[in-house]
Structure 1
Amino acid sequence: MDIIFLEQVKVQTNLGVPDWERAVAQTVILDIEIGYDFSKACQSDAIEDTIDYGQVAARIRETLAEHSFKLVEALGEHVCQLILLEFKAQNVKLKVSKPGILPGLKALGIQIYRTT
């Protein structure tokens, strides 16, 4: 299994349980590992034989700007399913961090793993 990773992808989204927290977009940081068979791309050197990480990042930013989530877990599941379904990944490991959301914490968040 081959892996492409996108590290510390900063995105803006509306996230939080109380309505006031979702009223203004906040920064969320994503660390993403995408499992895919890159053997064909290694031979062809062609972008169409791999996952275009620029398109992945753009699509995530687009969908998170359009949606509001109460839970970090729901946001994470949304992103994983997007990558699995739209980009035909074999699996996704995702870490979602909300930086500086609570006093005395650098960040809080979740880490999930999904497969087809």
Structure 2
Amino acid sequence: MDTIFLSEVKVQTKLGVPEWERMVEQTIILDIEIGYDLSLACKSDDVADTIDYGLVVNRVRETLKEHSFKLVEALAEHVCQLILKEFSALNVKVKVAKPAILPGLKALGVIVERTAS
């Protein structure tokens, strides 16, 4: 299996357990790995034979602007399911980082990996 990766994708969303934290958008950083069979695209050199990375980034940004999450876990699951369903990925791994949320901490977050059923 092949992997498409999108590194350090900055998105805006409302995220946090306390309600006040979800009142304003925050920058969240995503690392996304998408499992896909790229053998045809390698031969054809045609974007129709792969996943359009720009469409993935735009769709993730769009959906995260529309939703609010309490937990980074729920946000990661949402992104995984979106990519599996809308882009026919074989599997997806999403790292969600919430930067500088606690003093002395660069970031906190989760890594969630899901496979198409």
**Counterparts in 2 of 1:29-68, with a 5 A limit?**
29-68=29-68
**Consecutive aligned runs of 4 or more in structure 1 exceeding 3 Å deviation:** none
Q: Following TM superposition, by how much is the alpha carbon of 1:94 offset from its aligned partner in structure 2, in angstroms?
A: 0.8
Tell me the residue number matched to 1:93: 93
Which amino acid letter does the alignment assign opposite residue 57 of structure 2? A
In structure 2, what is the equivalent of residue 70 of structure 1? 70
Structure 2: how far apart are the matches of 1:66 and 1:51?
23
SS in 2 for 1:105: coil
Q: Secondary structure at the match of 1:64?
A: helix
Letter in 2 for 1:84: L
How big is the alpha-carbon RMSD for the aligned residues of Structure 1 and Structure 2? 0.4
> What is the CA–CA distance in structure 2 between the aligned matches of 1:40 and 1:15, rounded to whole Å?
39
Equivalenced residues, count: 116
- Tell me the percent identity: 73
Q: CA deviation at 1:43?
A: 1.0
Structure 2 portions without partners, runs of 5+: none
Query: In structure 1, what is the Cα distance between the partners aligned to 2:112 and 2:16?
Result: 18
- Name the structure 2 match of 1:17: 17
SS at match of 2:29: strand
TM-score by length of 1: 0.99
DSSP 3-state at the match of 2:51: coil
What do residues 14-58 of structure 1 show as CA deviations (whole Å, max 9, x unaligned)?
Answer: 000111000000000000100000011111111110000000000
Match of 1:7 in 2: 7
